[in-house]
Amino acid sequence: MANTPGAKKAVRKIARRTEINKARRSRLRTFLRRFEEAVTAGDKPTATTAFVEAQSELMRAVSKGVVHKNTGSRKVSRLAARLKKLAAA
């Protein structure tokens, strides 16, 4: 339990930040799901636009500190590989 005023304030800040990060993470997952659905359906144009949006959203999450830089890069790389595989098919 937080006793000092500073610790109580930190608890409040962490709670606010957690809510914001949850929303950002949820938004990110939505964009990733849209890409997955487009790839599964085999829809190349939709998958391409979904990839661009997902990539942008991933990098935004990285800049906001929701996702680590290397994690974001790895995910973008894997999405690009799946898009390339779809385009080749």
Residue 87: pLDDT band (50, 70, 90) is: confident
Report, as an integer, the average pLDDT of 11-36.
97
Report, as an integer, the average pLDDT of 9-32.
97
User: Look-up: residue for tokens 């939505």?
Assistant: 30
The domain locations on the chain are: 5-88
Report, as an integer, the average pLDDT of 50-71.
97
For residue 72, what pLDDT is reported? 97
pLDDT of 1 strictly over 80:
no
Measure the CA–CA gap between 89 and 80, rounded to whole angstroms.
14
Three-state secondary structure call for residue 57: helix
Q: Which residues does 24 contact at the CB level (< 8 Å), separation at least 6? A: 60, 61, 64, 66
CATH number at 5-88: 1.20.58.110
The answer to whether 69 touches 77, Cβ cutoff 8 Å, is no
